[in-house]
Chains A and B, each alone.
Chain A
Amino acid sequence: MTAVELTAPKRSSLDFVLRARELGIIIALALLVAVTVISNPRFLSGQSVRDILLNTAILAVLAVGQAVVVITRNIDLSVGSVLGLSAFTVGTLLQNNPGLPVVLALLIGAAVGGVCGVLNGVLVRYGKVPALVVTLGTLYVVRGVTYFWAGGSQINADELPPGFLSFGNASLLGVPMLVLIALVALVVTAVVLRNYRVGRELYAMGSSPQAAQLAGIPTGRRTVGAFLVSGALAGVAGVLFAARFGTIDAAAGTGMELNVVAAVVVGGVAVFGGSGTVWGAALGALLLTTIGSALAVLEINQFWQQAIVGGLILLAIGADRLVAVRVAAGLKKRGSHVG
């Protein structure tokens, strides 16, 4: 895994469980790829791998943001709609200002998403409404706003500046730009969550909200912050979506929130907060995307994809429970004392 983790002086059993979890996904991924390649060697061809990575990039950016929120014992269901709004906003801007630099487009997307995220965070925190309900509400509100604005119109690839579209296919040292951006988001978030006080406080809040308050953690600001990150990353994902597909209508990203939550859960982020990593969430996104591609290659009905994803979620939750129970039993037996 990361260099940071490898250089950590001592490995706690906690880290071990998390790492074991991520290892499980990697093994599942390897098995899946192996089986698919045996049946169709072209699955590992350059173009196919590239497609999987590009599709993963968008889902992974969303999953990283979602993981931050889930770690604090909340959830953000509005990310699919925020992605749509951001994609449509940036698409419209590019239509009218073909000279807009890509970096600026990304920043605008992040800003649009960030505003939505702050709205979510404020409603959750200061409205004292569960995140599930708030973000279910904003899911429809944001989508509604996008529909109202777009009407039935659609932005097509030929209306977007070629510079922007080529960014969607560009590579740096052989790695697609979209994947690089996802990696940057992943690494930065992972380092903050693991090595900065702010990040640890997010875990603390998810682990025990009451204790977090008593420990003097500014839980209000942190909650809003977590939603801001999730929203901003959803906004960035919207720009990536626009660059990758070139065609944007008001329905862009519909239903995506469920894939994102699935990736996060499969990736081992506990739905009750306090544990899990963004690495796991990103791996979850990679696994889900790979399953989709593999089933197509194996010529298995798309219908099965949903059933398999569902089964994976149950398996992931079951495995987490099992590990948790065994770890708890182990910790009790061992007693709290060294040696």
Chain B
Amino acid sequence: MAAQLRVRGVSKSFGAVAAVRDVSFDLHPGEAHALVGENGAGKSTIVKMLAGVHRPDAGTLELDGTALALTGPADAKAAGIAVIYQEPTLFPDLSVAENIAMGRQPLGRFNTIDRAAMVAQATRLFTRLGVAIDPNRPARGLSIADQQLVEIAKALSVDARVVVMDEPTAALTGVEVERLFAVARSLRDDGAALLFISHRFEEITALCQRVTIMRDGKHVSTDLLEDTSVDEMVRRMVGRDLDALFPKQDVTPGATVLKVEGLTRDPVFKDISFEVRAGEIVALAGLVGSGRSEVVQSIFGVDPRDGGTVQVAGKTLKPKNPKQAMAAGVALVPEDRRQQGLVMELSIERNVTLPRSRSLSQLGFLTGSSERRSAKEWTERLKTKYGRLSDEVGTLSGGNQQKVVLAKWLATGPRVLIVDEPTRGIDVGTKAEVHRLMSSLAAEGVAVLMVSSELPEVLGMADRVLVMREGRLVAELSRAEATEESVMFAAMGQEATV
């Protein structure tokens, strides 16, 4: 069978980060092809290249044997490549029929849009899909599942020969997934080439014939699904060398400091209960979107909660009250330091002392000297590299910015330190620094709760690993039980059979 779409040795870098390196695979007509890999393996970058959003730095895309130069989404559409994103991209103010026809509305007299034909086209497509969506209603207010069906109708309307679906099932219920799959199968059987991205193996085995595995931006393997097993796929996804070891000091855990019971926020997470003891590092693992960050934001009181309690050293924290959480000794180092952790335009010293501006001020006035002294102490302890303390934080490198965020919170002398993706996007050396620091804090008796997507970090640092999947706590693994496979299996909803 001739390949419909060939991906030939494509690479793409963003700044210094190589997102995709020399990846090749073929999509065949009438076949559903799964693309799997951990978070950050480069799947979304591949999708965006096929969609014409990103241009590959090297390598080519070939459709029916001719090279494709996609200079924008319009080119991809014209070539017959339709992309259905995880978050559907509809125009909420326009009607469903118009959303489907946008850019190719049927024309009547004087090149005006023939609305009747446009609605008829939408009705025809929905009939073919076997769904009953009113073509005249605005897209606003459609459920995610229906929005996805509209996206598929869009793909059908252009007779797309290659349909890319980027985690289309992430927000769907079981019935909706079934309906989507029925549609996907009929597309496939009509001769379209499908590229299906998902974290759920049961869906991949239900729909796909071939699977390509990516890891760290590189192609690992492409096999017929019948020639491989779920175990094998997971092993290939995570199977990297564990050369970077993290120096977690052994600490005998003390009394329980953080106690979370039945924490719920519909529909993001449900019934989360766990404890963190003094001197312990507990990792909260799981896939992106499983609700980890939302849980810690809720504990800290930034996000609201629907139910459950949070106790710090026996004292119950009120919901939506970060000030009280801070007073109780909780510190949160957020995931996105640019957005949430730092004021980029302020100086390093001002950033470091921001949460303590009250305790550092004398008679209500902040004095430069006390700020500077305190900032100097902590930035030195964290080995932060900077020109002057009065430099803007925005001028520092990513790793050093992260150290400033840490300094800012460590200087408050927390009893519970919550870190969300503490080493995302920073270099190996700084990573080791951050790990060393977390370990020594735990040794001093701080209870550390760490959200991390990097398995080696989780396995190297954590005394215990809590695994979340789709808003629920699905596994608690001791340091001895936690392996790359067992954590990934739990995160993806598969039984550990290794």
- Report the bound CA distance from A214 to B103 in whole Å: 11
Q: B175 on the interface (CB 8 Å rule)?
A: no
Interface check B136, CB cutoff 8 A: yes
A275 and B136 CA atoms in complex are apart in Å by 15
- Interface-side segment among B71-79, B246-254, B418-426, B488-496: B71-79
* Cβ B102 vs Cβ A328 within 8 A: no
Q: Quick check: which of A107-115, A142-150, A204-212, A260-268 contacts chain B, the rest being far away?
A: A204-212
Given contacts A200-B105, A214-B73, contact A337 B134 (CB under 8 A): yes
For the complex formed, measure the closest distance between the CB of A71 and the CB atoms of chain B, giving whole angstroms: 9
Chain A proximity mask over B74-110: 1 for CB below 8 Å, otherwise 0: 1111100001010001111111001000110101000
Say what secondary structure dominates the interface of chain B: loop
Tell me if B103 and A216 are in contact (CB < 8 A): yes
Answer yes or no: B358 CB below 8 A from chain A CBs: no
Assess whether B221 is interfacial by the CB under 8 Å rule.
no
B-facing mask of A176-216, CB < 8 A → 1, else 0?
Answer: 00000000000000010001110011011011101111111
A14-B92 contact, Cβ under 8 Å, with A197-B105, A331-B140, A336-B143? no
| A206 contact set on B, CB distance < 8 A | 93
Q: Across the interface, do A10 and B93 meet the contact criterion of CB distance under 8 Å?
A: no
Supposing A12-B136, A213-B73, A214-B73 touch, asked if A328 and B89 sit within 8 A by C-beta, the answer is no
B77 to chain A: which residues have CB within 8 Å?
215-216
- Does A231 sit within 8 A of B, measured CB to CB? no
Contact A12 B137 (CB under 8 A): yes
A152: Cβ under 8 A from any B Cβ: no
Write out the residue numbers on chain A whose beta carbons fall within 8 Å of the beta carbon of B136.
10-14
Residue of chain A at shortest CB distance from B149: A336
User: Which among B78, B93, B103, B134 is the interface contact of A336 at CB below 8 angstroms?
Assistant: B134
> Quick one: CB contact mask for A304-339 with B, threshold 8 Å, 1 for yes?
000000000000000000000001100110001111
Tally the A-B contacts, defined by beta carbons under 8 Å: 112
Closest to A10 in B: B136
- A residues 82-132 in Cβ contact with B at 8 Å: none
A217 to B76, CA, bound (A): 12
Q: Output the nearest chain B residue to A205 by Cβ-Cβ distance.
A: B91
Give the residues from 250 to 282 in chain A that come closer than 8 angstroms, CB to CB, to chain B: 270, 274-275
Q: Are B93's CB and A14's CB within 8 A?
A: yes
The answer to whether A203 and B93 touch across the interface, beta carbons within 8 angstroms, is yes
Name the B residues within 8 Å of A274 (CB-CB).
Answer: 91-94
The one of A200, A210, A270, A336 in contact with B98, judged by C-beta atoms closer than 8 angstroms, is: A200
Q: Which of B75, B76, B93, B112 is in CB contact (< 8 Å) with A195?
A: B112
Q: How far is the CB of B73 from chain A (nearest CB, A)?
A: 5
Q: Does B375 contact A (CB under 8 A)?
A: no
Known: A10-B119, A14-B95, A195-B112. A214 touches B89 (CB 8 A): yes
* Contact call B73/A216, Cβ cutoff below 8 A: yes
**B230 within 8 Å of A (CB atoms):** no
In the complex, which residues of chain B have a beta carbon less than 8 angstroms from the beta carbon of A210? 89
Say if the beta carbon of B326 comes within 8 Å of chain A: no
Partner of B141 from the list A10, A195, A217, A332 (CB cut-off 8 Å) is A332
> Given the complex, which residues of A lie within 8 Å of B94, measured CB to CB?
14, 200, 203-204, 207, 274
A206 to B92, CA, bound (A): 10
Given contact pairs A14-B95, A274-B91, A336 touches B137 in the complex (Cβ within 8 A): yes
Report, as a range, how many residues of chain A touch the other chain. Answer: 35 or more
A215 touches B73 (CB 8 A): yes
Judge if A151 is at the interface, Cβ distance under 8 Å. Answer: no
Q: Is A9 an interface residue (CB 8 A)?
A: yes
With A14-B95, A203-B93, A207-B92: A215-B102 Cβ-Cβ less than 8 Å:
yes
Report A-chain residues with C-beta under 8 Å of the C-beta of B131. Answer: 337
**What's the nearest-Cβ distance from chain A to residue B112, in Å?**
4
Docked-complex contact A9 and B103, CB < 8 angstroms: no
Q: For the complex, is A8 an interface residue (Cβ under 8 Å from B)?
A: yes
Chain A nearest Cβ from B50, distance in angstroms: 12
Q: Determine if B432 is an interface residue (Cβ-Cβ < 8 Å).
A: no
B142:A336 contact, CB within 8 angstroms: yes
Q: How far is the CA of A208 from the CA of B88 in the complex (A)?
A: 11
State which residues 9-64 of A face B: CB under 8 Å. 9-14
B220: interface (CB < 8 Å): no
- Contact between B89 and A211, CB atoms less than 8 A apart: yes
Nearest Cβ distance between residue B294 and chain A, in whole angstroms? 23
Query: A211–B74 contact, CB under 8 A?
Result: no
Query: How many Å from the CB of B81 to the closest CB on chain A?
Result: 11
Q: List 19 A-B contacts (CB under 8 A).
A: A9-B116, A9-B119, A10-B119, A10-B136, A12-B95, A13-B136, A197-B103, A200-B98, A200-B105, A200-B113, A208-B89, A216-B74, A216-B75, A216-B78, A332-B141, A336-B137, A336-B141, A336-B143, A337-B134
B residues lining the A interface (CB < 8 Å): 51, 53, 72-78, 83, 85, 89-95, 98, 102-103, 105, 107, 111-113, 115-116, 119, 131-134, 136-138, 140-143, 146
Other than the given A201-B102, A206-B93, A207-B93, 6 more pairs (CB < 8 A) read A10-B119, A204-B91, A207-B91, A211-B89, A274-B93, A331-B138
Show the binding face of A for B, using Cβ within 8 Å.
8-14, 191, 195-197, 200-201, 203-204, 206-208, 210-218, 270, 274-275, 327-328, 331-332, 336-339
